[in-house]
Chains A and B, each alone.
Chain A
Amino acid sequence: MTVVAHGIGGVRDLPVPESFFFTTAAIVLVVSFVALGALWRRPLLERHADGRLLPRAFQTMLLSRALRILLGAISVGLLVLVLSTAFFGTSLELLNFAPTFVFVAFWLGLPLLSVLFGDVWRVLSPWRAIADATVWAIERTGRVAEPLLEPTQRFGRYPAALALFAFVALELAHPRPAYPRTLGVAAALYTYWALAGMSVFGRDTWTRRGEGFAVAFELLSRIAPFAVRDGSIVVRWPLTGLAGADRVPGTLVFVGVLLGSTSFDGFSRSTVWQNLLADVRTSMAGEPQWAIDLATTLTNVAGLASFVGAVVVTYLGAVTATRRLVRAPRSLVPDFVLPLVPIAFAYLVAHYFSLFVIQGQFLYSLASDPFGRGWDLFGTVDFAPNLTLVSPETVWYVQVGALVVGHVAGLAIAHDRAVALFESRSDALRSQYPMLALMVLYTVGGLWVLSQG
């Protein structure tokens, strides 16, 4: 369960069989075209976005200071545990707590939590907790805690996109991402990035613009039926948080990194890419190891970047076509970015469901011996994970199911945006043709990657 391509685990799902591929592709096409004519004619999502307040008892409990302090302390404790196991624990990926925690529990678990319960990272982020505690301590001494620079919106979400790209490059391009020491250095660097950014630009600004995970989880949490509005928790229709346009620059590139990296993860484990990397190695036989590693890393980064680029370029192509079709007076780029968010989540589920279920079990035994020193803190060290917990058929159904549901959700949000934007129904419909083509491309493309041998 060490390295190769994905951050952890050299195990791939069996390819989705052709019958699944064609049936799902057919469903996607039919649903798309039927939806085009049958969906609502007046914007629906924004109207339901307000939701209703949770009962007062829940509010006071969930938003209580005590709970926030408790969660903050736990998450800072986990960050310290990850850093110390990564630096001082065993150097075997298999037996160290950090790799499985970071690549499985954190990176796959938090998107799921965000989609189910809303922006929980806001209270679970260890970096935010450290910043909050620092501000509290400064203000207690009677001074004013101010960011070093004026908060600026100039950079949009580009810093966050850069941070996320750095993380996925470690996960997917580095020859040995799960090697504990490498991971320790990466976690330390990221901690610096998050904390320095918050102190320079302010906690809120950096959380929304620069901290890659916070931005990713916040975008995904807009799918969730829960949200915090004006200091209270509301229940709302799922997906309503994705209504409207997102005018923050860099959002498209950020979503591109999210979508592109997941699909590259699938593709990088295909026969084509495996053989390419083996060829690179063969051609460099006799060179020192670091040179070979560098060459394979650069090849992977190039592949990753082209997948991200492909998402951005195809999206720009689709919105440009839309603009021509309806003769829109301004760019439509900010208007149809958010429909891509459910598709990005669908990709995550499709690619990592089995890894999450199988590899996640190892945490049970790792919790007892996080440093790999033969401890048995909770008596769970001998726990034998069930590696056949989910059958290949179940995995296939989850994969194609996630892609279809994500596709339909994306379609619905784009449609809602279109009827909100264009007064004439024919414009709204026409504007949807390129978007529809784009989403069919993403969904069938994602499906194709899953069906690759």
Chain B
Amino acid sequence: MRRRRLVLTVALAAALLAAGLALASCGGDDEATATTETTEPTTTTVTDPATTTTTTTAPPPAPSPTQLRVRVVGGAPQGGIARESVDRGDRVVVHVTSDVSDHVHVHGYDHFADVGPGMPARIRFRATIPGRFVIELEDRHAQIAELTVTP
């Protein structure tokens, strides 16, 4: 019987812990939304006026596309893997400059573009599929960027 009571106490303790965790998770949620908000300004700082003018073929009221820039030196991305997060439906432009010849591949969307010295790659598309997508140099199978599309 004593054993039974011990188990009940432990179960009760676990339930309390669970309630605590559930509460913590609500807090965690708010935090998560807060961080996504703070990342938005960084998105705009990346925007380069030179390229936004070239992409005005879309209807004027649409927000300007998110620019994802990677500079590849010796087959590796300068400053580490570039990461960008956009909402589903946003337009995205991936710019890659590279001192080596290769193919840029946006996985999932399966867009390809050649890149090489003096030949930057630019891939434009609308982010219609949610998920996290690897962008890599196809021949070197080296990841250079990751695009997150939130639903």
Contacts and interface: CB of A to CB of B under 8 A. Distances in A.
Interface in A248-293: 271, 274-275, 277-279, 281-282, 285-286, 289, 292-293
Contacts of A29: 14, 17-18, 21
Interface in B49-77: 73-77
A18 B32 contact: yes
A4 B13 CA distance: 44
A113 interface: no
A175 B80 contact: no
B17 A388 contact: no
Interface stretch (B40-48, B90-98, B118-126, B139-147): B139-147
Interface string A82-96: 000000000000100
11 contacts: A10-B107, A10-B143, A14-B151, A18-B31, A21-B28, A22-B22, A25-B21, A29-B17, A30-B11, A282-B77, A292-B75
Contacts of A425: 3
A75 interface: no
B105 A36 contact: no
A37 B4 contact: yes
Interface string A1-18: 111100001111110011
A18 B28 contact: yes
Nearest to A34: B11
A25 B17 CA distance: 10
B148 to A, nearest CB: 7
Contact of B128 (A33, A275, A388, A392): A388
Contacts of A271: 81, 83
A388 B129 contact: yes
Given A175-B141, A286-B74, A292-B75, A19 B11 contact: no
Interface string B1-45: 001100110110111011101101110110110000000000000
B151 A392 contact: yes
Nearest to B10: A33
Contact of B15 (A13, A17, A30, A279): A30
Interface of A: 1-4, 9-14, 17-19, 21-23, 25-27, 29-30, 32-34, 36-37, 94, 175-176, 271, 274-275, 277-279, 281-282, 285-286, 289, 292-293, 387-388, 391-393, 425-426, 429
Contacts of B141: 3-4, 175-176, 293
Given A13-B131, A37-B4, A392-B131, A26 B76 contact: no
B143 A274 contact: yes
A9 B108 CA distance: 7
Given A37-B8, A274-B146, A388-B129, 20 more contacts: A4-B107, A4-B141, A9-B107, A10-B143, A11-B107, A11-B134, A12-B133, A13-B131, A19-B26, A22-B24, A22-B28, A23-B22, A23-B25, A30-B11, A30-B15, A34-B14, A36-B10, A36-B11, A282-B76, A429-B7
